């Protein structure tokens, strides 16, 4: 979680989508590019409105990567491609989100995102152009709006009844995967179509699509034998097949084009200093302790619970998903008592609350109280703690079902009571890892080059993938490779 971003929920986008369906018209339009008949629920103006709203949620909930030069660079490349696409008039927008995950996604209306994680894993401007072209393809072929429309229908059928107030919705998110609405999953055909469009846009702009094919090899390696499959790979099946398909298309469409741009050197220079992996300044876990060095607090979660830190909320849940505990940050005028804030919170969220108590946790004043909420399908019970630190007010909301609240109340209370100032001063100094460039002094294997650059054994496999080189592969003298600058 970060200090600067206000607590936001996705409730707005849900109500917007609901409205769009209510006023929308059912129609079948022929796509301008593919000629395929599609189920289209929304007009272009509605498509843009839908994308703009969802993008505002992405900006807040995921956060943009704070590097203006890099943002401008990606935006410039994207606009150049979009201008040559079949829908140049859309309000195209290209942004880097501050996430270590390897991902890129397109929202309806031309709102395209890449993560800093995907940038770190690419080796050339042409690869980036290929990925941006692919995402542009999802918009020009209207996959994004089509898919969002389908999800609206699905959502209305099953999910919407449960969304009563934001906390319950987030409760659903932590169990069902957060931001599911925004990460639209496309079918295999849609992916292939976007690949073809990506290749075409790359060629039109003079870039070499071979680099896009190469990037699929990186995605393939990322998903090999790893617990966490990168999203872009998991939603985009068969990296190897797609690599081949791209090369095949290139053979056919390249024609007389020569001197296609790769842009390796310039691209690598731009990655120098890029934050890599999770940024611990925004909070990190050590065993079951969550530590936030910027906000200078820590708290302890129960053994075995999984904790997910996002820009606005820290979610936690036991392995069986039978409860959820979320931590959010609110601002209140200095001197607002935790009790006054609690009453306000309960009223705003239309929660019935019981008798509470004031307490001290660490050096802070706090208030806690039980509450319950009735949704259409179930009764949710909870225990909430509110902790004041100057004008900051932390809200710790534990939720579970009626028959489990007795067992969970002491567990929620223990987490609330563990809230404290950071106890180990060294935790306040933690810094993120950053990508650095290392010029290989003479021809040697990647393994040797990484050793020469002072990289540890632990980082070798990661850097092998990030550089798209095998450890025993020879690196030529003078070539620059990506290495890591670790926090001391």
Interaction site with Zn ion (CB under 5 A): 194
Nearer to Zn ion among residue 196 and residue 368 (C-beta): 196
Task: Give every CB contact of residue 282 below 8 A, 6+ residues apart in sequence.
Answer: 1, 2, 292, 294, 309, 311
Task: Please tell me the distance from the alpha carbon of residue 465 to that of residue 402, in angstroms, as a whole number.
Answer: 47
Per-residue DSSP letters for 252-292? Answer: HH-TT--S-B--HHHHHHHHTT-EES--GGG-EEETTEEEE
Among residues 235, 186, 218, which one has the least CA distance to residue 119? 218
Shortest spacing between CB 184 and Zn ion, in angstroms: 9
Shortest spacing between CB 82 and Zn ion, in angstroms: 16
Shortest spacing between CB 236 and Zn ion, in angstroms: 5
Nearer to Zn ion among residue 193 and residue 389 (C-beta): 193
Contact 330, 347 (CB under 8 A): no
- Residue 3 in 3-state DSSP? coil
- Residue 207 in 3-state DSSP? strand
Nearer to Zn ion among residue 188 and residue 360 (C-beta): 188
Shortest spacing between CB 222 and Zn ion, in angstroms: 16
Task: Please tell me the distance from the alpha carbon of residue 247 to that of residue 392, in angstroms, as a whole number.
Answer: 55
Please classify residue 406 by burial: count the beta carbons closer than 10 Å to its beta carbon, then call 0-12 exposed, 13-18 middle and 19+ buried: exposed
Shortest spacing between CB 122 and Zn ion, in angstroms: 15
Shortest spacing between CB 20 and Zn ion, in angstroms: 23
- Residue 203 in 3-state DSSP? helix
Shortest spacing between CB 67 and Zn ion, in angstroms: 25
Pair of tokens at residue 225: 């034998």
Shortest spacing between CB 478 and Zn ion, in angstroms: 36
Task: Please tell me the distance from the alpha carbon of residue 31 to that of residue 116, in angstroms, as a whole number.
Answer: 32
Per-residue DSSP letters for 72-131? Answer: HHHHHHHHHHHHTSS-TTS--EEEEES--S--EEEETTTEEEEEHHHHHT--SHHHHHHH
Shortest spacing between CB 190 and Zn ion, in angstroms: 7
Nearer to Zn ion among residue 186 and residue 364 (C-beta): 186
Nearer to Zn ion among residue 146 and residue 389 (C-beta): 146
Nearer to Zn ion among residue 194 and residue 210 (C-beta): 194
Nearer to Zn ion among residue 151 and residue 431 (C-beta): 151
Query: Measuring CA to CA, how many Å separate 301 from each of 135, 329, 396, 398, 412?
Result: 39, 17, 12, 12, 9
Per-residue DSSP letters for 130-190? Answer: HHHHHHHHHHHTTHHHHHHHHHHHHIIIIIGGG-SSHHHHHHHHHHH-TTTTTS----HHH
Nearer to Zn ion among residue 240 and residue 423 (C-beta): 240
Nearer to Zn ion among residue 242 and residue 482 (C-beta): 242
Longest dimension (CA), the chain: 78
Bridge partners (DSSP) listed for residue 27: 40
Question: Pairing between strand 289-292 and 93-97?
Answer: unpaired
For 395, the enclosing helix (H) or strand (E) is strand 392-401
Nearer to Zn ion among residue 194 and residue 310 (C-beta): 194
């Amino acid at each position: 979680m970060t200090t600067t971003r206000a607590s936001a929920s996705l409730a707005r986008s849900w109500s917007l989508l609901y409205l769009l369906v209510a006023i929308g018209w059912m129609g079948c339009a022929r796509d301008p590019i593919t000629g395929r008949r599609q189920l289209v629920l929304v007009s272009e103006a509605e498509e843009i409105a839908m994308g703009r709203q969802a993008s505002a949620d992405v900006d807040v909930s995921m956060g943009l990567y704070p590097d203006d030069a890099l943002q401008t660079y990606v935006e410039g490349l994207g606009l150049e491609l979009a201008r040559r696409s079949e829908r140049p008039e859309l309000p195209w927008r290209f942004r880097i989100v501050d996430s270590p995950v390897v991902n890129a996604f397109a929202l309806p209306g031309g709102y395209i995102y890449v993560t800093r994680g995907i940038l770190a894993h690419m080796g050339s401007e042409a690869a980036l152009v290929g990925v941006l072209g692919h995402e542009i393809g999802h918009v020009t072929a209207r996959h994004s709006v089509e898919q969002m429309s389908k999800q609206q229908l699905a959502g209305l059928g099953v999910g919407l009844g449960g969304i009563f107030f934001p906390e319950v919705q987030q409760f659903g998110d932590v169990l069902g995967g957060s931001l599911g609405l925004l990460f639209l999953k496309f079918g295999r055909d849609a992916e292939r179509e976007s690949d073809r469009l990506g290749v075409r846009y790359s060629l039109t702009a003079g870039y070499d699509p071979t680099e896009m094919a190469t990037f699929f090899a990186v995605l393939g390696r990322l998903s090999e034998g790893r617990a966490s499959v990168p999203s872009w790979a998991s939603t985009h099946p068969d990296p190897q097949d797609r690599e081949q398909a791209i090369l095949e298309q290139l053979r056919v469409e390249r024609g007389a084009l020569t001197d296609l741009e790769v842009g390796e050197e310039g691209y690598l220079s731009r990655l120098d200093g890029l934050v890599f992996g999770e940024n611990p300044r925004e909070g990190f876990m050590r065993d079951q302790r969550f530590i936030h060095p910027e906000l200078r607090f820590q708290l302890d979660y129960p053994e075995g619970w999984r904790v997910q830190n996002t820009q606005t909320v820290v979610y936690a849940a036991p392995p069986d998903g039978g409860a959820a505990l979320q931590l959010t940050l609110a601002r209140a005028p200095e001197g607002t008592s935790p009790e006054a804030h609690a009453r306000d919170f309960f009223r705003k969220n239309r929660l019935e609350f019981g008798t509470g108590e004031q307490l001290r946790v660490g050096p802070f004043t706090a208030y806690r109280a039980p509450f319950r909420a009735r949704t259409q399908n179930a009764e949710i019970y909870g225990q909430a703690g509110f902790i004041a630190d100057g004008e900051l007010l932390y809200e710790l909301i534990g939720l579970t079902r009626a028959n489990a609240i007795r067992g969970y109340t002491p567990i929620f209370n223990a987490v609330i009571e563990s809230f404290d100032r950071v106890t180990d001063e060294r935790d306040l100094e933690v810094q993120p890892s950053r990508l650095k460039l290392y010029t290989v002094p003479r021809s040697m294997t990647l393994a040797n080059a990484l050793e020469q650059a002072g990289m540890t054994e632990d980082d070798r496999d990661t850097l092998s993938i990030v550089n798209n080189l095998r450890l025993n592969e020879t690196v030529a003298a003078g070539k620059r490779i990506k290495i890591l600058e670790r926090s001391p």
